[in-house]
Structure 1
Amino acid sequence: MEETGTDILKVMNENLLYDGESKIRSTADLNKFRRYSRKDKIFIDQMDIIKRLSDQTQGRYPILITIHGLIASVFHGTGFAGNYSTMGYGLSVFNREQPQKMKQVFEMYTDSLIELVDCSLEAGADGVFYAALGGEKNWFDHDEYMESVSVHEQRLYQHIKEKTKLNVLHICKSDIDFERFTVLEPAVVNWGIYHNNLSLTDGAKLFPNSVILGGFPDRSGVLVDGTKEEIEAHTEMVLNEMKGKPFIVGSDCTLPTEISPERIHCVVEAVKKLSGR
């Protein structure tokens, strides 16, 4: 944080809701899905990470803990994490073939995630970064998602909002049906601007009561490859586009691990200069 000058500490969560053994390949395996709670090592390990970070930062930065969304977490439970792009469609197939059973699965994982939210905040997190999958138009269709998934996701996100005002909805992937997520009414919303046909300005119209987070591409582009002058020019462009609207400068998604902190710091300094701070 000292090297970049950024304002918020966002913590990734690699303690996935998975038992480490099961492989759920078909509807015949659906009984292998299970509920998780604070008694599980997954929760205990994640709470320990948050507590240590909280103790170290001592309130200097708000800590946002990543909570993998409902679809992401159920997919992790299949045992094929890392293969979502090629295998994530399986959840929509399971839902069409066994809707009642999948309703139980979604309810079970919603309860697990609600408890994970509570544990994370108890351990010292200040807010939640909710990383949502399932918006892709080519797997679940709109009505199917709203009826089978969103009803549970709304319960989960409402709980998050009741627990913390610092809640960020991150909408992953491309070719997204954004209407699936407007009902969540997040405090802050972030999506892949450069991978979807939804600009910052249009997103502000779609989420009129949310602060918009973004402006920079993530894995490539000006922040990763550009000069200092190009980074500053891009910062000015997005600030001008969002002038007068609630806005946080950030990236579409996760930046490369190897990116120089100086590049991020360049954005921070440009924001300060352009906003007169």
Structure 2
Amino acid sequence: MLKRERLLNAFNNKEVDRVPVGFWFHFLKEEEFYQGLEQRDLIEKNIAAHKAFIEATDPDFVKIMSDGYFLYPSKVYPTLHSAADLRKLTPLGKDHPWIQGQVRLAKTVVGFLNDTSAFYNIFAPSTLLRFAIGNEKFIEYFRQDAAAVADALEIIAQDVATLSELIVTEAGAEGIYLSVQNPENGKISYEEYRRYITPSERSVLSRANAVSENNILHCCGYAGNKNDLTIWQDYEAKAVNWAVTIENLDLTEGKKLFADKAVIGGFDNRPGKLLHSGTKEEIESFAETIITKAGKIGVIIGADCTVPSDIELTRLQWVKDKVAVL
């Protein structure tokens, strides 16, 4: 069975010859995540690192990392003094370097692949705004005027939706990997999130789903952030990835929560945990346990989120080799 066929069978809860496996990590340093527009060499570094990773691991599928493009650019940021000022945001437009640069990044990496699906990392509009102004300011503005924040998110969503569409139609990716998160450990309630933040995320997913049936929803548990996963329970995505460890929700239970959609994960991604530091026998045993419990239908083995950048690639191969014989 070819890799793309295997993965899409898993996405659609069909039989596979073996369970697909996929891990990913950042290729740039954290302080470089936001500097790609100013430092073109960082994007070239990111592209070269993708190529080396693909050649070294022959992955079942690839998550293309948007390192260098974490900052949604706007001249408005220095003029923000209150939530009302967010209404000065305007869309970047299709031809902006922030959009076209990411399309080029994705298209270049897709060019390294042969019958291997690629999914481009897309941050939700609320995440991009938090990256730009900080978590504390985001919450402060949300409490001042949630409607103004929602309007700003819809502006950002226009560009993110355009980017998502072009990632598929021009760059040739299989779909997007949409990362969502409930800011600041639940300081925004379920009801508030659904009213003010969900519309912008659905705008992005709607455009992505219009050009590809195969998009991934990532409910991010970064830095131990625990989410209310029911916020995204009805989002239209083909597969779902969440932090099974942080949320204390394994793949079997998560599959029930997300209406039997395909699920991705199983391993704790954090430094010093099993995948990063365990023995070969321990890692193989855990991989077998995941499949024994979750089964082989609609399951992709991976991690809660990005694994440490210094991880030994042989550790990822141990998982892949073990899964191949189960």
TM-score of Structure 1 vs Structure 2, range by shorter chain: 0.7 to 0.9
CA RMSD after TM alignment: 2.0
* Unmatched segments (≥5 aa) in structure 2: 1-53
**Structure 2 match to 1:99:** 146
**Structure 2 match to 1:139:** 187
- Paired residues, number: 265
Amino acid at match of 1:163: V
Structure 2 CA distance for partners of 1:39 and 1:77, relative to 1, 3 Å: farther
**Structure 1 match to 2:77:** 22
Question: Matched residue of 1:109: which SS?
Answer: helix
Matches within 5 A, 1:31-50: 31=87, 33-50=89-106
Mean Cα displacement is larger for which, 224-233 or 201-210? Answer: 201-210
Structure 2 CA distance for partners of 1:183 and 1:228, relative to 1, 3 Å: same
- Structure 1 residue 243 corresponds to structure 2 residue 286: no
Residues of 2 paired with 1:165 and 1:7: CA distance?
18
Amino acid at match of 1:71: S
**Structure 1 match to 2:282:** 230
Q: Is 1:213–1:247's contact at 8 Å kept on the other side of the alignment?
A: yes
- Which of 262, 265, 268 matches 2:320? 268
Residues of 1 paired with 2:55 and 2:72: CA distance?
32
Give the structure-1-normalised TM-score.
0.88
Question: Matched residue of 2:57: which SS?
Answer: coil
Residues of 1 paired with 2:177 and 2:147: CA distance?
29
Q: Is 1:33–1:77's contact at 8 Å kept on the other side of the alignment?
A: no
Matches within 5 A, 1:1-277: 1-13=54-66, 14-15=68-69, 16-19=71-74, 22-23=77-78, 24=80, 26-27=82-83, 29-31=85-87, 33-57=89-113, 59-78=114-133, 87-121=134-168, 122-134=170-182, 137-173=185-221, 174-220=225-271, 221-243=273-295, 245-274=297-326
Question: Matched residue of 1:219: which SS?
Answer: coil
Amino acid at match of 1:132: V
* Unmatched segments (≥5 aa) in structure 1: 79-86
**Structure 1 match to 2:42:** none
Identity, % of aligned positions: 25
Q: Deviations over 1:107-129 (max 9, x none)?
A: 11111111111221212222101
After superposing on structure 2, the runs of 4+ consecutive aligned residues of structure 1 that deviate more than 3 Å are 23-26, 31-34
Question: Matched residue of 2:116: which SS?
Answer: coil
Q: Deviations over 1:82-120 (max 9, x none)?
A: xxxxx4243233233223322321211111111111221
Structure with the larger RCO, 1 or 2 (CA within 8 Å, 6+ apart):
2
